[in-house]
Structure 1
């Protein structure tokens, strides 16, 4: 493999960097000298940027796949502040010697006074659910390896930053803690949290191994904590010999599902991990873990890691009532939808379409009918998507029309109705996509609330898809007559 193996990843970072705007992040160069990384934008959080929608002659129906990196960035933009979660944590403990208890205050943790002050200065009054469970394990001696899942905005970054700052020894003039992030912007965000938390620890140096940061071959990094992207960090470790992986005491993979699922990042992360000493504490944090990724993560981290997972709320369909409406064609589906919205009391709803063309068509039709509609499709950049989702989350629009691809990574709690204007199908086999169906309707009926899912059926194919979904989940989907106003009013109560 070529020494310049980070070039492709760096190009990916550059492309994503051009998309992410509206961020102003404090970061530092070596020696704790502050600098500001700022990007001008007409559309930060809450600022709506009206997208220009121009249907092209070719490919207008095709939605480009959203990369894991883009999903990760979108989650970060949407969860800029700490949010609470009611999801239960599942702890899979392999090491009987590691502690298993939770704390309700930061004072109950073995934190240095200057670090504790930094925590409170940042506005953390009490540990979040992930913090109160993970931190006693992370800060205990001897160090314990961990694979941890928590939603964005629940304090997972602060948890591993506290771990790094607790383990670092400022009297040693070399890099001791290394944190990998999948993109340039995410690395800067982690660095911003680290610098704020360490503001009362002036002897701790925090540096960045990202594109644009230069280091000479053979020059040793003297930053105690280094935060970077895989390609650059790999070069610094293996090509320039600026970091000695054997001296690392903490190694962190943030957004680990992105790292592991992306081939280039996966290879680079493995090469770095193989150089670590047995005593290095290895941590994988992420908002999401697919089963195959979790299996890989557990294989990658030796020595009996503690695994903390969120119980999947969306796996329960008990709180969601499911219906289908029989229609003849797309126009009939719209008429049925109009009847439903006219007769039922609907708070916020999401409508899923198979193609960009259908999403735009439906958005125009519903807007003309007087509905406050937000449209989410693949022709929007990340900042526009974040602004639109935040407006919807704030209740400025009541209806969010989206394609399935564009909706990945979105979590809006107040949705009461989900409409499948088109049933989800697998692209290659054209069979029912049960996982996507579950993920779609799982956006309603959360936290014990009643939810409603309505499926628009316009032919034998979509009916077969619905029947396959019924069979897969062993849940009946009941017929609904969209012309029966009394029936519509009844299910909305």
Structure 2
């Protein structure tokens, strides 16, 4: 598994993705702008505001409503008409977890298949076993009223009898198993696949083997097969891969919400050592009537120390760190989201992908730095972007305990072209006036 080591805790991309899916029962309300680049700019661009406009089969529409979706999300408004268009159109879409993409391509697959044909028509690959199961659950729920549409999981441990052809119209799996089913065991006739979905492309290509297997699967398919590729990020490597796999694509990019710092007030507090930081934190917390706070630490050890001390002070604190299983982390986030704990102490593992609407304070107990000890601006943005979400006001407070950390504050100010105001947490009046 490839992971990036940041802040003394590993960020595993596939785990991160699964975590996001586990904690997102509902769509994130998204005010982002959606950019759509059409392959054929002359064809009318059309988006939908209701699921009825898509003219889905009644059983499928019933499944969609049964899942609690009452209207399409931003990405669905634009992506679904393209995915369901006749003749079929290829699509590359950038969207974070929680924007409704899994539901969108699940709907596309379910509406694409011909239930009368007892062979595999739609193929979807995801980077891990768990992600494949997650997608499958969405399809099973959505296709609840379509009894003739069957689904098979091309995942490790799912042994199939050789020499027979699968009758399931939809197969979801991981690249290695799916490739074996197409080539070695011939359970799937690749030339009969008419829709190919590649999810989490950025995670997929971070694993060398997966990247090659995906390309080998893709080579088996016909030129007419509809290709849909999704990725949360669009770095150059993802683009190059997407261009290899998706000819003549329509492109949808969801502009990222995190990049706005307009609603976040940023401060720094000068401290000596961790005990001093802790006092500042307690003052801060005491003087603000805060809905919920997130506190970022550099190491697991510091996070554990801080959690123990805050608990002693009588705060309800949840702790997230990298040695926990994905399920444990999901349950901590769920409790925090439901307001059972007001403070979440975490290492960097959790700076991405946690949308809790009521977070109004983010504290960098330790400032985010990269391998060379310089400011890690992207991580800073991710962290403080947890507050001020959905157009609300938020506060970010940075603890400065050395000349080096003051330099980092200056680097962050330069990078974002925003001033970070000095805050004296022992002066309650000043604090109240600044933070009002």
TM range (shorter): over 0.9
Residue 331 of structure 1: aligned partner: 275
Q: Does 1:177 align with 2:136?
A: no
The runs of 4+ residues in structure 1 deviating greater than 6 Å are: none
Q: Any conservation in 1 of the 2:293–2:342 contact (CA below 8 Å)?
A: yes
Is 2:127–2:175's contact at 8 Å kept on the other side of the alignment?
Answer: yes
The offset of 1:200, in angstroms, is 3.5
Mapped partners of 1:376, 1:197: distance in 2: 32
Report what 1:341 is aligned to: 285
1:139 corresponds in structure 2 to 84
Residue number in structure 2 paired with 1:72: 17
Measure how far apart 1:194 and its partner are: 2.0
Tell me, in whole angstroms, the C-alpha distance in 1 between the residues paired with 2:363 and 2:402. Answer: 17
In the alignment, which residue of structure 2 is the partner of 1:124?
Answer: 69
- Give the equivalent residue in structure 1 for 2:108: 163
Query: What are the within-5 Å matches in structure 2 for residues 142-291 of structure 1?
Result: 142-286=87-231, 288-291=232-235
Deviation at 1:150, TM superposition (A): 3.4
TM superposition shift of 1:453: 1.1
Contact 1:99–1:136 (Cα < 8 Å) also in 2: no
More deviation, 330-339/120-129: 120-129
Q: In 2, distance between residues paired with 1:361 and 1:209? A: 44
Q: More deviation in 112-121 or 310-319?
A: 112-121
Bigger Cα displacement from structure 2, 263-272 vs 302-311: 302-311
RMSD between aligned alpha carbons? 2.3
Change over 3 Å in CA distance of 1:290–1:365 after alignment to 2: farther
Counterpart residue number, 1:438: 381
* Preserved CA contact (<8 Å) 2:318 2:343: yes
Instruction: Compute the displacement of 1:491 (Å).
Output: 2.3
SS in 2 for 1:405: helix
The answer (yes or no) to whether the contact 1:356–1:403 under 8 Å persists in 2 is yes
For structure 1, list consecutive stretches of 5 or more residues without a partner in the other structure.
1-7, 13-60
Question: How far apart in 1 are the matches of 2:287 and 2:65?
Answer: 50
Q: Does 1:458 align with 2:401?
A: yes
Q: CA deviation at 1:99?
A: 4.7
Q: What's the TM-score once normalised by structure 2's chain length?
A: 0.93
Question: Quick one: distance in 1 between partners of 2:429 and 2:57?
Answer: 65
2:364 to 414, 420, 423: 420
Contact kept, 8 Å, 1:99 with 1:137, in 2: the verdict is: no
SS of aligned partner of 1:400 = strand
CA deviation digits over 1:221-257, x for unaligned, max 9?
2221111111110111122222222221000112222
Distance 1:304 1:97 in 2: 15
CA drift at 1:138: 0.9
Residues 83 and 153 of structure 1 are in contact (CA less than 8 Å); yes or no, is this contact kept in structure 2? yes
Q: Is the CA contact 2:205–2:238 (under 8 Å) kept in the aligned structure 1?
A: no
Change (3 A) 1:380 1:202: closer
| Alpha-carbon separation, structure 1, partners of 2:400 and 2:433 | 21
Deviation at 1:177, TM superposition (A): 0.6
For 1:349 and 1:180, locate their aligned partners in 2 and report how far apart those are by CA, in whole Å: 37
Is 1:484–2:412 an aligned residue pair? Answer: no
Q: Provide structure 2 residue ranges, at least 5 long, that are not aligned to the other structure.
A: none
Instruction: Give, in whole Å, the separation in 2 of the partners of 1:467 and 1:318.
Output: 19
Whole-angstrom CA distance in 2 between matches of 1:151 and 1:470: 27
Q: Rate the CA distance shift 1:153–1:438 in 2: closer, same or farther, 3 A.
A: closer
TM-score normalised over the length of structure 1: 0.83
Contact 2:355 2:386 in 1 (8 A): yes
Is residue 9–residue 299 contact of structure 2 (8 Å, CA) maintained in 1? no
